[in-house]
Amino acid sequence: MSEVDIDLIIGGPQGGGIDSAAQIIIRSFSIAGYEAYGIREYHSNIKGRHSYFHVRIKDEEVRSLRYPVDILACLDSETPFVHMYDVTKNTIVLFDEDVKGTKLNQVLTLEPETKKHIEEKLQSEGYELTVSGSLEYMKKRGAILVPVSFRSLVNEALGPSKPPARYANTLGASISMALMGLDSEFTMSGIASVFGKKKEVLEDNEKIVKVAYEYISKNNGLKIKKLGPKTVRERYILTGNEAIAIGKVIGGLKLQTYYPITPAADESFFLEGHDYFDELSGGENETLRKSGVVIVQAEDEISAIAMAISGAMTGARTATGTSGPGFSLMAEAIGYAGINEVPVVITLYQRGGPSTGLPTRNSQADLSFAVNAGHGDFPKIVLSSGDVQEGIEDAVKAFNFAEMFQLPVIHILDKNFANSFYVVDGIDYDRMKIKRWKLPEKQEGEFERFKFTEDGISPMGFFGKNIMWLTGDEHNEIGHITEDPETRDAMMVKRMGKLEIAKKMIPLEDQAILFGDKDADVTIVSWGSNKGIILDVMDKLKQEGKKVNFLYIRMMVPFPTDFVTNILKNSKMIIDVENNYTGQLAMLIKQNCAININKYLLKYNGRHPTEDEVYDGIKKLIDGKSNRVVMTNGA
The 3-class SS string of 38-100 reads EEEECCCCCCCCEEEEEEEEECCCCCCCCCCCCEEEECCCHHHHHCCCCCCCCCEEEEEHHHC
CB-wise, 375 or 569, nearer to other proteins?
375
Host H or E run for residue 291: strand 288-292
CB of 207 to other proteins, least distance (A): 20
Taking CB under 8 A as the rule, does residue 322 contact other proteins?
A: no
329 binds other proteins (CB under 8 A): no
Strand partners, 555: 383
CA gap 107, 264 in Å, rounded: 31
Interface pick for other proteins out of 100, 115, 465, 619 (rule CB under 8 A): 465
Kindly identify the residues of this chain, within the stretch 155-194, that bind other proteins according to CB under 8 A: 186, 189, 193
Size of the site for other proteins (CB under 8 A): 85
Q: Which amino acid is at 88?
A: T
User: What is the distance between the alpha carbons of residues 297 and 393, in angstroms, rounded to a whole number?
Assistant: 25
Q: Is 333 in the site for other proteins (CB under 8 A)?
A: yes
Q: Taking the complex as a whole, how short is the minimal distance between the CB of residue 257 and other proteins, in angstroms?
A: 7
Closer to other proteins by CB, 176 or 187: give it: 187
Q: Closer to other proteins by CB, 277 or 581: give it.
A: 277
- Torsion angle in degrees (nearest 10) through CA of 213, 190, 30, 360: 100
Measured between alpha carbons, how far is 633 from 416 in angstroms, rounded to an integer?
A: 14
CB of 347 to other proteins, least distance (A): 17
Distance CA 48, CA 53 (A): 15
Q: How far is the CB of 384 from other proteins (least distance, A)?
A: 22
Least CB distance to other proteins at residue 452 (A): 20
Site for other proteins in 424-443 (CB under 8 A): 426-427, 429-430, 432-436
- Name the one range near other proteins by CB under 8 A: 12-20, 162-170, 412-420, 466-474: 466-474
Element of type H or E holding 326: helix 324-339
Q: Which of 90, 471, 596, 598 touches other proteins (CB under 8 A)?
A: 471
Pick between residue 293 and residue 551 the one whose CB is nearest to other proteins: 293
Torsion angle of the four alpha carbons 264, 266, 271, 274, in this order, in degrees rounded to the nearest 10: -170
Q: Which stretch binds other proteins (CB under 8 A): 7-15, 286-294, 546-554, 600-608?
A: 286-294
* Contact status, residue 360 vs residue 414, Cβ threshold 8 Å: no
Helix (H) or strand (E) holding 280: strand 276-280
Q: Which residues contact 444 (CB under 8 A, 6 or more apart)?
A: none
Query: Contacting other proteins (CB under 8 A), which of 140, 375, 480, 569?
Result: 480
Nearer to other proteins, 94 or 313 (CB): 313
Candidate segments 11-19, 103-111, 422-430, 584-592, binder of other proteins by CB under 8 A: 422-430
| Integer Cα distance of 327 and 508 in angstroms | 28
Nearer to other proteins, 434 or 505 (CB): 434
Q: Which amino acid is at 181?
A: G
Classify strands 409-414 and 381-384 as parallel, antiparallel or unpaired.
parallel
| Residue 58: strand pairing partners | 5, 35
Measured from the CB atom, the residue of 280 and 496 that comes closer to other proteins is 280
Report the site for other proteins in 21-40 (rule: CB under 8 A): 27, 30-31
Q: Which region among 10-18, 40-48, 163-171, 245-253 touches other proteins (by CB under 8 A)?
A: 245-253
Cβ nearer to other proteins, comparing 93 with 173: 173
Across the strands, what pairs with 73? 10, 94
The DSSP H or E segment spanning 578 is strand 573-578
Least separation in angstroms between residue 214's CB and other proteins is 22
Q: Are 31 and 37 in contact (CB under 8 A)?
A: no
20's CB contacts (< 8 A; 6+ apart) are: 169, 170, 194, 195
Residues 375-394 that bind other proteins (CB under 8 A): none
Q: 280 and 449 in contact (C-beta within 8 Å)?
A: no
Please state the closest distance from residue 352 (CB atom) to other proteins, in A: 27
Q: Which burial class, exposed, middle or buried, applies to 124 when counting CB atoms under 10 A from its CB (0-12, 13-18, 19+)? A: exposed
Q: Could you say which residues in the range 215-234 bind other proteins, by CB under 8 A? A: 232, 234
Among 54, 317, 351, 554, binds other proteins (CB under 8 A): 317
Residue 354 preceded by cis peptide, ω within 30: yes
- Cα 381 to Cα 390: distance, rounded to the nearest angstrom: 16
Rg of the chain (C-alpha set): 26
Contacts to other proteins from residues 349-368, by CB under 8 A: none
Using CB under 8 A, which residues numbered 287 to 316 contact other proteins?
288, 290-294, 296, 298-300, 302-304, 306-316
CB of 289 to other proteins, least distance (A): 8
72 in Cβ contact with 7 (< 8 Å): no
For other proteins, give the closer residue by CB, 77 or 318.
Answer: 318
Q: How far is the CB of 169 from other proteins (least distance, A)?
A: 19
Least separation in angstroms between CB 355 and other proteins? 20
Which residues between 246 and 285 bind other proteins (CB under 8 A)? 246, 249-252, 254-255, 257, 274-282
Interface residue with other proteins, options 65, 209, 345, 468 (CB under 8 A): 468
* Nearest distance in Å: CB 233, other proteins: 9
| Pairwise CA distance, residues 121 & 127, whole Å | 9
For residues 257 and 571, which CB has a smaller minimum distance to other proteins in the complex? 257
Give, as ranges, the residues between 86 and 145 that touch other proteins (CB under 8 A).
none
